[in-house]
Amino acid sequence: MKSNNLFIILFYIMLSSCINKNTESEKLHNLFNGVWENGLQEFPVRATYLGDYRYNDRLSDMSIEAINRRNEKNKLILKRLQNINKNKLNDSDILNFDLFFKRITRSIESHSFKEYLMPIDQMGGIQIGFPNLVEVTPFRNQIDFDNYLKRLSLFPQHIEQIINLMRGGIKENIVHPKIVLQKVPDQILTQHQIAVEKSPFYKPFKENISVLPESLRSTYRNKGQTTIQENIFTSYKKLYDFFLYTYLPNSRENISAASLPNGNRFYEFKVKSYTTTNKTPQEIHEIGLNEVLRIRTEMDKIIKKVGFAGSFNDFISYLRSNPDFYYNKPDDLLDGYRTICKKADPELVKLFGKLPRLSYGVKPIPDFQAPASPT
């Protein structure tokens, strides 16, 4: 009898433990689902890139008020996460918990440095990301075209918010170094100093218009031309003038992060974020120096092996100037990268337990973006 009672007690303990584990797991996944859904609503452009088209008629609110509101929401999300008993999660959920904890705490810490006041540089920003959005936007029917036109009509307000962020950056001396911004004006210029018909924003009205009834096509082409001219071109012109005549002259001469307010701490934070370690900037620097020395030693071996007559600097100049080491045609360059990908594919399974099901490809960088992109 005592044995049976003990079994019953153990059974209920185990059952209670399972229920608690399930409850904690449910809490965690409910939190994840809520954060994901909220993220799609807050950042509708990201949703479009991810293939969720419910918010294709919207743009993100980039006002300082919205940015601060999102940060306060992140703090509440962190509290909810910390209220989940991690010890009652399975191994998979513990990993998800830890990864999400790192992400949300990093986001909250990042907010204090006000990096959002630097929304544009030569590698990214509204002058690059928004034109590329056309490539992932669906144009299957009239609703899709209406959503697209509505989104374009919101662009002036969005540009105004971006400019206000940069004005705040100037005021607080949180601006990019001048040297990395030199090509940005031309990037902006290519988005408005062209014929509407040659704009990437007009592309759907040429290539996808056939999904509309023939009786509506002319009307929508006219709507597209008017919307692009009045909302896109005018807004980019405003951004161009502000960037060239106000922002660029007020950008930093010093390239060091230390020249920013609280710059040393900001640099330490970025090192931690990019390396996902707790190593100090000095430790990372030492690793870099040792790696440079290792590579230099390997290069010296190659110089000796090929019998090159000259100094190390001569060899570098030779590599940079000899046309044999360069592609002559853009398509050949693309094919070269694609060949590398094909060689890498079978090796990936040796390094990763899980691989994405979706395929990937190598495409040329858009002409307006290419000149400022690294090779």
Rounded Cα gap, residues 12 and 16, in angstroms: 6
Residue range 116-150, pLDDT digits in tens = 999 999 989 999 999 999 999 999 999 999 999 99
DSSP secondary structure, 242-282, as one string = HIIIIIGGGSBS---GGGSTTHHHHHHHHHHHHH-S---HH
Strand partners, 252: 177
* Cβ pair 77, 35 in contact under 8 A: yes
What DSSP assignment string belongs to 329-345?
SHHHHHHHHHHHHHHHH
Please identify every stretch of the chain with a pLDDT value under 70, giving residue numbers as ranges.
1-22, 372, 374-375
Say what the pTM is.
0.85
Taking CA 136 as the corner, what is the angle to CA 132 and CA 142, rounded to the nearest 5 degrees?
A: 115
The whole-angstrom distance between residue 28's C-alpha and the CA centroid of its chain comes to 26
CA distance 148 to 45: 11
Lookup: tokens for 256: 């060091």
Q: What confidence score (pLDDT) does residue 4 get?
A: 52
Amino acid type, 16: S
List phi, psi (to 5°) of 177.
Answer: -65, 145
Contact status, residue 39 vs residue 46, Cβ threshold 8 Å: yes
pLDDT at 10: 45
CA distance 186 to 248: 13
Tell me how long the chain is.
Answer: 375
pLDDT of residue 268: 95
Question: Minimal CA–CA distance to 149: which of 247, 209, 220, 207?
Answer: 220
For residue 157, CA distances in Å to 51, 109, 164 come to 25, 28, 11
CA pair distance 335, 351, nearest whole angstrom: 25
Cα 154 from Cα 227, distance rounded (Å): 10
pLDDT of residue 156: 98
